Structure 1
Amino acid sequence: MDNNYRDNIRQGAQVSIVLKQHQRSGQLTEGVVKDILTKSKFHPHGIKVRLEDGQVGRVKRLHQ
């Protein structure tokens, strides 16, 4: 699945995101999607989400 499309991401999905402070290193943080923050259908850097623990970042990987 492509993490750049909003339709591919659902609340409750297990994902890996990159936090703003980790964009240079690319360090990923895993969690469960609580809210989808990006309003557009597509974003070239990944859809921005809030995890259940409150962290915010862009989705880089979807887990199935």
Structure 2
Amino acid sequence: MENKQRSKIQPGAAVEVVQKQHQATGTLTKGTVKDILTKSQTHPHGIKVRLTSGVVGRVKNILAEDEA
């Protein structure tokens, strides 16, 4: 549920996201949040973010620091 609440995600957080083109397969990409793109406080499919690598996707998992 944390991935659906904007308040739980901060720039610099380590996350796994699913990109739009990978939604059907569920392929996840690890990275660090650069920008939060979703303006609402919650979203049923996950909060959309831009990673430092430039990848845009919806957060599926928030990782602990040692998992990044």
Q: Provide TM-score, normalisation by structure 1.
A: 0.97
Identity of aligned residues (%): 61
Aligned pairs (5 A) from 1:6-45 = 6-45=6-45
* Cα distance in 1 between the residues matched to 2:63 and 2:29: 12
TM-score (norm 2): 0.92
The alpha-carbon deviation at position 2 of structure 1 amounts to 1.1
Q: Please, what is the CA RMSD of the aligned residues?
A: 0.8
Matched positions, count: 64
Q: After the TM superposition, which segments of 4 or more aligned residues of structure 1 sit over 6 Å from their partners? A: none
Gaps of 5+ in 1: none
Structure 2: runs of 5+ lacking an equivalent? none
